[in-house]
Amino acid sequence: MWDNPRLLNLAANTLLGVALVLFGYAGARALLQSPLFPLREIVVESPLQKAARDEIEGAVEGVGGNFFALDLGAVRAKLEQVPWVRRVDVRRVWPDRLAVRIEEHVAFARWGDTGLVNTFGEPFSAPIDKDSAARMPLFAGPAGSEAELTQRYRRFAQLLAPLEDAPERVVLTTRHAWQLRLASGMDIELGRDGAEGVEDRLARFVAVYPESLGKLARKYEHVDLRYPNGFALRVAGWKS
């Protein structure tokens, strides 16, 4: 081997390559652990309406690490646990800044007793004042049905617009039947989608309303639309 220049060059190059890898590894470790590159500033680049800035700063500080060692994925995960924060984009800005862009939840409806649903139909939890909560519709249904309830609410509201009324409560039962409570106080039993969809039933009801219930002087409280050629009505003060 010692008489073979080619093998000697190969061995030397291999040793040099190993030395460079070890040197690079040691340098990277020193850089990641160095106190010379502290993170000094967190810049929130998007305006905040609901999320608390002190909670955002606290979430970042809890992750630890200098400018190079900071785990951006961990920071993002921490920030997305802050109330009202839906989505986060995080990036480093040399030499000592962390730039954060936050998309907040926009509350669309209440979910059960304590939860909320955003405009994308996603469930989330956040504190909200009573007045704001009272102005939102109430959704109730099986877990995972939030997006469907949001989509149906929009369609139901569109169909009811000619009556100048809107759903204030939308319920999807475990049997996948739909129930509405309108702002006027009327309850509507829509039933399940079948040969005739629930939206078709509601559209039919709205179409005949002016010449039927619209002419009644008495207050009605419950309408059952689960009939192919008509609907059943319960009126306050009427026994049957």
d(CA 219, CA 111): 29
* Phi, psi of 173, deg, nearest 5: -75, 170
Q: At what angle do helices 146-160 and 198-208 cross, to 10 degrees?
A: 20
Which two tokens mark 18?
């190993």
pLDDT number for residue 7: 57
Q: What integer best gives the mean pLDDT of the chain?
A: 83
Task: Find tokens 């309830």 and name the residue.
Answer: 149
Q: How many DSSP H helices and E strands does the chain contain? A: 6, 12
**Which segment of 61-65, 73-77, 184-188 scores lowest on mean pLDDT?**
61-65
Model pTM greater than 0.75?
yes
- What's the average model confidence in pLDDT over 150-157? 98
Please report where in the chains the tokens 């026994």 appear, as a residue: 239
Q: Which of 67, 99, 62 is closest to 81 using CA atoms?
A: 62
Strand partners, 43: 99
**Residue 64: per-residue pLDDT:** 65
Q: How confident is the model at residue 56 (pLDDT cuts 50, 70, 90)?
A: confident
pLDDT at 70: 81
The pLDDT of residue 27 is above 60: no
What's the rounded Cα separation, in Å, for the pair 65 and 173? Answer: 49
Average pLDDT over residues 79-88: 94
What pLDDT was estimated at residue 98?
A: 87
The span from the CA of 1 to the CA of 192, in Å, is 85
pLDDT value of position 135: 94
pLDDT at 164: 93
CA pair distance 52, 94, nearest whole angstrom: 25
Please report, in angstroms and rounded to a whole number, the separation of the first and last CA atoms in the chain.
108
| Whether the predicted pLDDT of 139 surpasses 70 | yes
Higher pLDDT residue, 52 or 22?
Answer: 52
Q: What is the pLDDT of residue 177?
A: 97
Determine the average pLDDT of the residues in 129-153.
96
Q: What is the per-residue pLDDT for 168?
A: 97
* Domains observed in the chain: 41-104 (3.10.20.310), 107-235 (3.40.50.11690)
Residue 108 CB coordination number (10 Å)? 21
Q: Does residue 32 have a pLDDT over 60?
A: no
| Dihedrals phi, psi of 71, to nearest 5 degrees | -85, 105
76: number of Cβ within 10 Å: 17
